[in-house]
Structure 1
Amino acid sequence: MALAEVLADFDLSDFADAFAFESFNRMQREALPGLLGSNENVVASAPTASGKTALAELAICRALADGGTALFVAPLRALTNEKEADWERFEELGYSVYVVTGERDLNPRRARRADILVMTPEKTDSATRKHDSRRYDFITDIDVCVIDEVHLLDSDRRGSVLEVTISRLRRLCDPRVVALSATMPNIDDVAAWLDAPAETTFEFGDEYRPVDLHADVRTYTHGENSFADKYRRLYRALDLAEPHIDDGGQALVFVSSRQDTVQAAKKARDEIAERDLDMGARGEYDYHTDTQQLENDTLRKSALDGVGFHHAGLSKNDKDLVEEWFRQGQIQLLFSTSTLAWGVNLPARCVVIRDTKYHDPLEGEVDMSPLDVLQMLGRAGRPGYDDVGYGWIVCDRADADRYRELLRDGKEIESQLAEDLDAHLNAEIAMGTIRDLDDVMDWLETTFYYQRAQSAPSKYGFENLRERVRETLSELVEAGFVETDELGVDPTPLGRLASKYYLRLDTAERFHDLATADQQDVDAVLEAVATAEEFDSVNARQSERDAISAVLSGKTYTDEVDAGQRKVLAILHSSMTGSTPADLTSDAWVIRQNSVRLVSALGAFCRRFADPQTANLVRRVEARLDHGVSEGAVGLTAVDGIGSGRASKLAAEGVTTPGEVIAAGVDGLIAAGLSEGVAERVVESAGELPAIEIEWGSFPDSIPQGQNEMCEVTVRTVAGNAAVGVRVTVNGIEMTTDETYLSDELAVPVGVFGGDESPLEYAVEVTFPELPLLPVRDSRSVDVT
């Protein structure tokens, strides 16, 4: 029966054009009554490439037909962008699709008006935490939530986020939940957690795979040199792929990193030439011409030999061309990172997982997730072309039995909440969704953790689960994150900040200690970040140690800093001047991005628990990390239109503050090397920032001993407005301090006292707790006569 006729039976005939095919397959037809004929929650597991995406689209159509809003939770940020492009079909039907991710500026108005929202678990978590703000209130107006790849519950780092986010969303607005997954043995646990009845819980086995899968393990002999091991595994992968390529098929080889896709493709081209494999299309004029469209030179050369590589760092143009040519058979051997397994439907007759481990900048060498392994193998077999697909895992002999067991029994989905129970419980209390001990237990029962513990009581210690949660609550109280009394449970300022900035609780305590310490400086700020628990698994490789020592030579840090933390510290110090050594660049970007987030959080701690001077110090460190500029140029980064390059250029010309930008004017900035259009925008932006003047008035030059006089110093801004801290010191000792929002001018009382010391150095300092501007300081000397 045609797709349009089937949809007509459910009053959805208007949505026929939302689908990219003409008829539903067997799996989709069996799920239709549960998806479209009821309002129950749905859980469906099915093999990779069996058509689960259509189930998501059907659930969305049902919600749209009823006038509702759909939320699609995608496992990766790259997939949110893919859905935006793919779902132009919905846009053509008059429904708006809006992607909300951390890399885009949120437009709350567009989010509120969207018919389909596409978000990652992390962004959904953030939105639900801030649901009572005007910016994120759209998240409480969801009618159906589609969770793509719900088996990510088992992911070490992301599983607990997905779990608590869905539990929270259900408490906030109780949407219909449609959870889709690859094949999983314990689908009933997920169904019980989401309250999906038996009639809308679908477990589609391997018989629903469009192409049978033959999957197995092949081993190699592990050597002393990891670099040589990569090539041993590469040759093993080529041995497995060669007969399929020779027979006119294609092979997809998964490797651990973007760089490895390029290096493996280069080496494979040489090896293919040695083996005299009939590959490539150098003689085909049209294809040769088409490859000139590629922006990556290395990829262009590889593609002519029938070898390609694919990773998230390629331009969209290059990724699209590689995918098209692989589908057409022009590229017969493709090297990719695991992202391709979760995203683009790009099957191959043969799939080889060359690398089962990968280097994570924050975790060191880690095993590929079993979920990733199964997802990658699921790409084997081309519907309509192959009767069987072949998938191979290449691993060390010591790991072979573990992977054979995975292929034989699959992977049960476990809850990862226990690993972060304290942070997630604190977050719920900080949001006000938990107000007493009864609420704590009610919340626990909404989690997959609780459901899984019921199914596997000995594994999870179900009998002691409630006691464990009570102990966790007591630990939060003892550490100062939570307060309890006879009326209930309340968050403290520390608990709120830890939740708002997604900090591990040990890190939040460390930041609180620094903010309340007697003295802080740049070295202390960087050490607090480098030793944060978020970086506790960073490793310093032998090849990096000389570069680390060179950067840290002469720097101050405590004896407790270990080798991995020293590496983070070296990256932070060098990032502040834009001079990261080449030996540290492979991990520097990820570490720097995480550091900027942590320093921003530390700044919030200092604004709450310290003084404006400390908050300003941290804000300047954040800006230097973000832009890689000197201390003298950091204030310029507050000006819209001035990045690291322009800041350094202007600082070299003696222009270092927004006030000096205004004073230089458009002509002065042009003389400093800026174009006229940029100079005009920069001057206008600088005018929106404060330019401070300190006027001493009739301040005395001297005062008789034993006498005193009250004076008034005026602090004013002659440009933009800002929150400021004003501090008055005499001979370096603080006399008064004030925090205010300066929009015009402020009268600052200063007492001049004729004591025993002479002369007296009076200083007025204005700092900016929320801006990376250098403090403005002026002083007067008073003789005691």
Structure 2
Amino acid sequence: MNVAERLPEFADAFPFESFNRMQSAALPAILERDENVVVSAPTASGKTALAELAICKTLEQGGTALFLAPLRALTNEKEREWERFEALGYSVYVVTGERDLNPRRAERADILVMTPEKADSATRKHESTRYQFVRDVDCCVIDEVHLLDSDRRGSVLEVTVSRLRRLCDPRIVALSATMQNVDDVAAWLDAVPETTLEFGSEYRPIPLSAEVRTYTHGENPFADKYRRLYRALDLAEPHIRDGGQALVFVASRQDTRQAAGKARDELSSRDVPMGARGDFDFHTETQVLTNETLRKSVLDGVGFHHAGLSREDKNHVEEWFRRGDVQLLFSTSTLAWGVNLPARCVVIRDTKLHDPLEGEVDMSPLDVLQMLGRAGRPGYDDAGYAYVVCDSVDANTYRTLLREGKPIESRLAEDLAAHLNAEIALGTIRDLDDVVDWIETTFYFVRAQRAPEAYDSGTRLRERLRETLSTLVTDGFVETDDELRIEATPLGQLTSRYYLRLDTATRFGALCENERDSLSEDAILEAVAGAAEFDSVSARQHEREAIAAVLSQTELEDPSHRKVLAILRASTTGSTPADLQSDAWVIRHNALRLLAALQEFLDRFSGPFAANLARRVEARIENAISAASVGLTAIDGVGSGRAKTLARAGMSTPTDVVEAEIDGLVRAGLSEGIAERVFESACDLPTVAIDWGAFPDTIPAGENDLREVTVRTTAGSARAGIDVTVNDVPMTDTATYLGEATVPVGVFGGNARELEYEITVCFPNLPLRPVSESKTVEVV
């Protein structure tokens, strides 16, 4: 079926001239009907074009399309691919946590691209002006809907789609690789039989042969990696010698690089002709690569690919692999879900991987099937060959998976309480009847009807919902009244807003009950390190000594939480031990999110001074800066490097930067242009001035005098906390948006011979150290 004849207005949006057999068969359901659509089709059969067909129909009708991509890396890829739509005059906008949201661009976009996690965040905040655009979605395309069966991420996708349907009821077009129970997904999404399409293996462009191969397991995990690597090379070598290509999936970015280096040596010793090895023109072409290790590798026909490479390097490797200049490519799982980069032979070397937050975990069956589906190059190969290399203990599990596939299950029950709390916080659930109505919109409910022996259903389901709700009430997340109406407490609202596990929210709430004087940087670090989100962090044996070097034996008992605490404490000074570096980035990234949540908890329940302390701890971890100089990071454009440069020159606060002026900043080591911008930014920050007015120096014993002190900012303004103490005893504390504020201060001639009044000002949302001034009054 010719694209230009069927869709003349959008012909340039497609990278081909004719739809294939599967696409042509699915086209009427997508273009000629308005119901929700579910399509199950083999990997590499062309499902992306079905997403684009649904988008074209939406655009033609003047609507907005939302594309849910399974991975963040794929959202950026779609942004590049769909420049074709931009060329036709339509706007594509990617919404991710990596970028600052531009609400105007999002609101005006014709095509929105998000991960399920970001869509969850947006739909939770749909009433805010920043995220109101999510209420205007007319069509939602779910790419790889079998992600429903993924740990944790699956439940996020499930509740997000259910919430989106309640918000704006968009048309849903759900796409999936082959799955056993496509009818269950169709029942969940209310797709009619005419728009529920299941394409079998005969629609796969290239037949797939998939097998399980075992290796001899040893005592040393490091040596086992190489045993699996040699097994993978044995499987790939015949195809490479025959002019084919091989794609080998490994567990981590570091593994791609190490395996590629070892494979180069091994294949050379076997005298296997590889790619464009020895081609002078290709040698010259590779000069564009910024990763020198990758450049040396591709010259021998062996490449590696992972999300940490620059976009340009990844693009070059993909191009050379398609051309055949690279014949063997090592990759992480990202490549399986995204880039259309098939190979004659696909080998999964690692079925287990190390997750910094979960320890050693088995690769998801969904990932396994997705990877194996990359075998077979349309137009080049008559068949695709795929292999899983695993321990003999696991062999039957994988043989069953390859033979029977896997039904898609709901993962909602694993996080039922957290998701129920979120819906109550949003106001979509107001009583027990609403709880039942909500669960009936989920995939969980459909699976419970189809497989009651594996799920709670009927009376058991209602009882489980009541128990979950009762626990939320008991733990302080939810409250009910005499008429059994349900409402989220402030604790429940903050827990939902920051996607916290309920145990973590309880932990943060307990910290907020402490006296302000007992709150310290160490207490904040321990609260975050002990969060439930870090329960499964793997503290490996060789890391224990490095952890002990940072921590005392009395700090936290759990090895997982001790490891996190060691990384966070070392991060404040930029001295993370080498043995902890591999997991440090992921742990810091998650800890910063938790610190932002804790700051909000402290602001809500303890006040601005506690929140300010948490904000400074967050800035220290992010920028590896001392407590004395952390205020420098409040200046726009000053991160870790520039803050340390300024600190070495004797500046520790934005006020010091303003007083140094541009010349002083240049002498400190900043370029003139940077110095000008840093100076201007520092001038915009709030600077506290305290005017004591007619505050007395003395007061007769037994007399009282009420005076007023003016607190203002001489530059900028921000939300502030103002604290007044006398002889270290709290008198008053005020939270206000500070431009200028008048604070009443009582002067009482009591028993003390001297009264030392201290006024302290802090900014809870800025990493500025509190500013204090004191005045002494003599009692005569």
- TM-score using structure 1 length: 0.97
Cα displacement (A) at 1:545:
1.1
The yes-or-no answer on 1:725 pairing with 2:721 is yes
Secondary structure at 2:105's aligned position in 1? helix
> Does the residue aligned with 1:460 lie in a helix, a strand or coil?
coil
User: Aligned runs of 1:245-394 on 2, under 5 Å?
Assistant: 245-394=240-389
Q: Distance in 2 between matches of 1:91 and 1:337?
A: 30
**Aligned match for 1:577, one of 573, 577, 582:** 573
* Aligned residue number for residue 488 of structure 1: 485
* Residue type at the aligned position of 1:368: M
Contact 1:74/1:147 (<8 A) preserved: yes
The residue that corresponds to 1:550 in the other structure is 549
Task: Return the match for 2:87 from 75, 78, 92.
Answer: 92
Are the aligned partners of 1:249 and 1:349 in contact in 2 as well (CA < 8 Å)? yes
1:203 alignment counterpart: 198
Question: Does the alignment pair 1:509 with 2:506?
Answer: yes
Distance apart, 1:280 and its partner CA: 4.3
Q: 1:15 to 1:280 in 2, by over 3 A?
A: closer
What are the equivalent positions in structure 2 for 1:530-569 lying under 5 Å apart? 530-553=529-552, 557-558=555-556, 561-569=557-565
> Of 770, 776, 779, which residue of structure 2 is paired with 1:781?
776
CA distance in 1, matches of 2:710, 2:134: 47
Aligned to 1:644: 640
In the TM superposition, what are the counterparts of 1:64-463 in structure 2 within 5 Å?
A: 64-463=59-458
SS at match of 1:457: coil
Equivalent position of 1:633 in the other structure? 629
Q: Structure 1, unaligned stretches of length 5 or more? A: none
- Alpha-carbon distance in 2 for matches of 1:60, 1:628: 45
What is the DSSP-based 3-state SS (H/G/I as helix, E as strand, rest coil) of the residue aligned with 1:358? strand
Of 459, 468, 471, which aligns to 1:475?
A: 471
Q: Find the counterpart in structure 2 of residue 695 from structure 1.
A: 691
Q: CA deviation at 1:591?
A: 0.4
Deviation at 1:487, TM superposition (A): 5.8
Q: CA-to-partner distance for each residue in 1:524-549, whole Å, 9 max, x for gaps?
A: 11111011011110011111111111
Structure 1 equivalent of residue 2 of structure 2? 2
Deviates more, 1:379-388 or 1:758-767: 758-767
Bigger Cα displacement from structure 2, 499-508 vs 706-715? 706-715
Aligned residues, how many? 776
Q: Deviations over 1:447-498 (max 9, x none)?
A: 0000011010010021311211111111111111111120621111111100
- The equivalent of 1:622 in structure 2 is 618
In structure 1, what residue type is equivalent to 2:506?
E
Q: Deviations over 1:258-297 (max 9, x none)?
A: 0000000011111112211122434311111111111111
Equivalence for 1:710: 706
1:352-372 per-residue CA deviation (whole Å, 9 max, x = no partner) reads 000001110000010100000
The residue type equivalent to 2:509 in the other structure is H
Displacement over 6 Å in runs of 4+: none
Provide the identity percentage. 72
| CA deviation vs aligned residue, 1:187-227 (integer Å, no higher than 9, x gap) | 01000000001111111111111111110101111111110
Distance in 1 (CA, whole Å) between partners of 2:415 and 2:598 is 21
Partner deviation per Cα, 1:379-424 (whole Å, 9 max, x = no partner): 0011111111110000011100100000011011000000111111
**How far apart, CA to CA, are the structure 1 residues paired with 2:10 and 2:642?**
51
For 2:715 and 2:3, how far apart are their aligned partners in 1? 64
Q: What RMSD, in angstroms, separates the aligned Cα atoms of the two structures? A: 1.3
Q: How far apart are residue 707 of structure 1 and its match?
A: 3.3
Give the C-alpha shift of residue 553 in structure 1. Answer: 3.8
Tell me, in whole angstroms, the C-alpha distance in 2 between the residues paired with 1:416 and 1:363. Answer: 17
Whether contact under 8 Å (1:2, 1:23) holds in the other structure is yes
- Give, in whole Å, the separation in 1 of the partners of 2:692 and 2:123: 51
Q: How far apart are the structure 1 equivalents of 2:477 and 2:353? A: 36
Match of 2:21 in 1: 26
Give how far 1:308 is off: 0.6
Distance in 1 between residues matched to 2:668 and 2:294, nearest whole Å: 40
Q: Is the 8 A contact 2:275 2:324 kept in 1?
A: no
Equivalent residue in structure 1 for 2:656, among 657, 660, 670: 660
Query: Gaps (5+ residues) in structure 2?
Result: none
- SS of residue in 1 equivalent to 2:629: helix
Q: What secondary structure is seen at the aligned counterpart in 2 of 1:380?
A: coil
2:55 is the alignment partner of 1:57: no
Superposed displacement of residue 641, structure 1: 1.4
Tell me, what secondary structure is at the counterpart of 1:632?
A: coil
C-alpha separation between the residues in 2 aligned to 1:525 and 1:650?
27
Structure 2 CA distance for aligned equivalents of residues 734 and 491 of structure 1: 32
Tell me the distance in 2 between the aligned counterparts of 1:205 and 1:416. Answer: 26
Q: Deviations over 1:324-375 (max 9, x none)?
A: 1111111111100010001111111100000001110000010100000000
Q: Deviations over 1:500-538 (max 9, x none)?
A: 011111111111111122231111111110110111100
Shift of 1:32: 1.2
- Please tell me whether the aligned partners of residues 155 and 412 of structure 2 are also in contact (alpha carbons under 8 angstroms): yes
Moved more, 412-421 or 612-621: 612-621
C-alpha distance in 1 between matches for 2:168 and 2:742: 51
Return the letter of the residue paired with 1:169: L
CA distance in 2 between partners of 1:528 and 1:283 (Å): 57
Report what 2:754 is aligned to. Answer: 759
Point out the more displaced range, 136-145 or 753-762.
Answer: 753-762
Q: Are the aligned partners of 2:152 and 2:415 in contact in 1 as well (CA < 8 Å)? A: no
2:767 to 761, 772, 775: 772
Q: Return the alpha-carbon distance in structure 1 between the equivalents of residues 528 and 90 of structure 2.
A: 45
Residue identity in the other structure for 1:59: A
Moved more, 586-595 or 59-68: 59-68
Instruction: State how far apart, in whole Å, the 1-side matches of 2:565 and 2:590 are.
Output: 13
CA contact (8 A) 1:632 1:651 kept: no
C-alpha separation in 2, matches of 1:183 and 1:603? 45
Residue 459 of structure 1 aligns to a residue whose secondary structure is: coil
Q: Deviation at 1:425?
A: 0.7
Q: TM-score under structure 2 normalisation?
A: 0.98
Q: By how many angstroms is 1:637 displaced?
A: 0.8
Aligned counterparts of 2:30 and 2:693: Cα–Cα separation in 1: 77
Does the 8 Å contact 2:753/2:779 carry over to 1? yes
| Code of the aligned partner of 1:770 | N
